Copies of this chain bind each other. A is one copy, B any other.
Amino acid sequence: MINILSTLQPDFAQKFERIVEARRETDNDVAGQVTDILQTVKLRGDAALAEFTHRFDGYTLAEDADWSIPPEACEQAYKDLPGDLRDALDLAAARIRSYHEAQLPENRDYVDAAGVRLGAIWRAVDAAGLYVPGGRAAYPSSLLMNAIPARVAGVERIAIVTPTPKGVSNPLVLAAAHIAGVDEIWRVGGAQAVGALAYGTQRIRPVDVITGPGNAWVAEAKRQLYGVVGIDMVAGPSEILVIADGSNDPDWIAADLLSQAEHDPTSQSILITDDAVFARQVEDCIDIQISQLSTGRTARASWDAHGVMIVVNDLDAEAPALANRLAAEHVELAVDNPESLMHKIRHAGSIFLGRMTPEAVGDYVAGPNHVLPTGRRARFSSGLSVLDFMKRTSFLGLDQTSFNAIGPAAATLAHAEGLPAHAKSVELRIK
C-alpha cells in the first residue's frame, strides 16, 4: 500500500517538491560509445552499418535485398492483418491525418503602414527519417504518429530505420508503414542507423529531420546530431496525472493509472483527488487489476516505485498549481465540468477532458499526437506536430519610399554597433 499524501500535512510542500525533482531517468553512460559509432558510420558508411548490424542484431547485410523491406512486403502485411485490426489502424490513421491537417500553419504576406512588404512562408523539409524500435517496443501506433504528420506537412521522402534482430520484422509495423505511405524501410537500428540518416551512406541518402522513439543509444545519437539535422524532443520516462473527484468509478481510474505504469518500471502515475476514501478504493482496484495483467510485473514495479496519490481539500483551488509544477505529459480531468481546471493548467503535454476520456483513447485513435514532452518538459516544449517537419522562411521587400522611411534608422544603429559595411549598404540606397 503506497503512502497517500495530503496537502494538510505540515511537510506536504517538501514531500511534493521531492516528487517533482526526483529523476526517474537512468543515467546511461553511452555518450562515448555513441560518438565512436557515429564517427565510424560517417567515415565508412554502409560497411560500418553492415558490421554493427551483424554484431548487434545478428543480421547479415550482404545483397541489396538484405538492406531494405520493399513496399510490396508492407502492402502484403497490411492485407494479411485480421479485419478488425486493419480497420482499427485505418481509423487511427484517418483521424491522426485529419487532426494534423488542421494544424498546418498559414503563410503571411502583407504590406505594413510604412509600405514594407513583410511575410513568412512555411515549407516542409525535403526528407524525414523515422526511428522505429524493434522487439517489444515496436508499436504501429508510434509509426503512424510520426509518419503521418511528416506526410501531412508535405515531406516528399520518408525513410524508416528499424532493427530486424535475426532478420525478424514486425508485421504490424510493416502494415502501419503501408498505411502511412512510407517511402523506404532500412533494416538497421541503434545509433548507427541514426548516424546513417544524418550523414547519409552509399545506399541511404541523408535526411533533414529525425524523429521517433528509441533506447538510450538512439536517444543519445539524436542528441549528438542535433544541429546536423533537426530532431524531436529528447524523451524520458512517461507519466500520467489523473485529477479525479470521488464520483468516478475507482476501477476506471485504476485502469487509467495502470495504463501508464504498464509501459515501463520508470513510468509514473499520479492521482490527485479531493476524496481520501476514493483514493483508497482506487488503490484496492489497482492491486486487483495488477494481479490480472500480463504486464503486471512492470506495472507493479512502476506503481510501487513512482506511484503517488495526493488528497487535496478543493480540486479547483489546489490541483492546478500542483499540476503546473509537475508539468506532466498526460493530464486527465475526470470531473463533470473539466473546463475550469483545463484553463488553469498551463503546463501539460495533453489534457484529457472528462470521465469518458481515458489516456488510452488518445494514444491510439483520437487524432492528437501521442508523442508528448515528458519529465516536466511540457514547461517549454510541445507534442510532435506538422511543425516539426516544416520550417519558416521570413521575407521582406522595400521600395525607394519605404526605404527612405526606415533606412536611416538602420544606418544609425549599424554605426552605433561598429558595423560600417552594414551602414554603407543602407546609405548608398537612401535618396
Where the two chains meet, the residues of A that have a C-beta atom closer than 8 Å to any C-beta of B are 84-85, 87-89, 91-92, 95, 98-99, 102-103, 105, 108, 110, 112, 114, 116-118, 120, 123, 125-126, 136, 139-141, 172, 208-209, 223, 226-227, 229-230, 233-234, 249, 251-252, 255-256, 258-259, 261-263, 289, 293-295, 299, 338, 342, 345-354, 356-369, 372-373, 377-383, 385, 387, 391-400, 402-403, 406-414, 416-426, 428-429
Pairwise interchain contact B87-A366, C-beta atoms closer than 8 A: no
Chain A interface, DSSP helix/strand/loop, else mixed: mixed
Pairwise interchain contact B252-A425, C-beta atoms closer than 8 A: yes
Pairwise interchain contact A406-B91, C-beta atoms closer than 8 A: yes
Residue in B92, B361, B362, B398 whose CB lies within 8 Å of A354: B398
Pairwise interchain contact B422-A259, C-beta atoms closer than 8 A: yes
Contact A416/B85 with A261-B421, A366-B398 known, Cβ cut-off 8 Å? yes
Residue in B289, B348, B420 whose CB lies within 8 Å of A421: B289
Pairwise interchain contact A413-B88, C-beta atoms closer than 8 A: yes
Pairwise interchain contact B259-A353, C-beta atoms closer than 8 A: no
Pairwise interchain contact B395-A350, C-beta atoms closer than 8 A: yes
Report chain B residues within 8 Å CB of A412: 84-85, 88
- The 3 A-B pairs of least Cβ separation, nearest first, read A353-B397, A230-B380, A255-B425
Pairwise interchain contact A366-B262, C-beta atoms closer than 8 A: no
Pairwise interchain contact A92-B413, C-beta atoms closer than 8 A: yes
Pairwise interchain contact B420-A358, C-beta atoms closer than 8 A: no
Pairwise interchain contact B350-A428, C-beta atoms closer than 8 A: no
Pairwise interchain contact A140-B84, C-beta atoms closer than 8 A: no
Report chain B residues within 8 Å CB of A249: 428
Pairwise interchain contact A350-B396, C-beta atoms closer than 8 A: yes
Pairwise interchain contact B259-A421, C-beta atoms closer than 8 A: yes
Contact A398/B361 with A136-B418, A255-B424 known, Cβ cut-off 8 Å? yes
Report chain B residues within 8 Å CB of A89: 413
Contact A226/B230 with A367-B118, A396-B368, A426-B358 known, Cβ cut-off 8 Å? no
Report chain B residues within 8 Å CB of A380: 125, 208-209, 229-230, 391
Contact A295/B379 with A252-B429, A350-B395 known, Cβ cut-off 8 Å? no
Report chain B residues within 8 Å CB of A403: 356-357, 361
CA distance A335 to B347 in the complex (A): 47
Residue in B258, B356, B407 whose CB lies within 8 Å of A398: B356
Residue in B120, B252, B417 whose CB lies within 8 Å of A141: B417
Residue in B338, B353, B367, B396 whose CB lies within 8 Å of A112: B367
Q: From A258, which residue of chain B is reached at the shortest CB distance?
A: B421
Report chain B residues within 8 Å CB of A367: 112, 116, 118, 396
Report chain B residues within 8 Å CB of A411: 360
CB distance from A285 to the nearest CB of B (A): 10
11 other A-B residue contacts (CB within 8 Å) besides A259-B419, A349-B393: A95-B112, A102-B108, A120-B368, A226-B234, A229-B380, A255-B421, A258-B425, A262-B419, A356-B398, A358-B426, A366-B396
Contact A364/B252 with A226-B226, A354-B397 known, Cβ cut-off 8 Å? no
CB distance from A8 to the nearest CB of B (A): 27
CB distance from A83 to the nearest CB of B (A): 10
Q: List 19 A-B contacts (CB under 8 A).
A: A88-B408, A95-B406, A105-B105, A140-B413, A172-B416, A252-B425, A255-B421, A258-B424, A259-B419, A353-B397, A356-B397, A357-B398, A358-B425, A360-B419, A361-B396, A367-B396, A372-B394, A381-B391, A382-B393
Residue in B84, B338, B413, B418 whose CB lies within 8 Å of A295: B418
Pairwise interchain contact B259-A366, C-beta atoms closer than 8 A: no
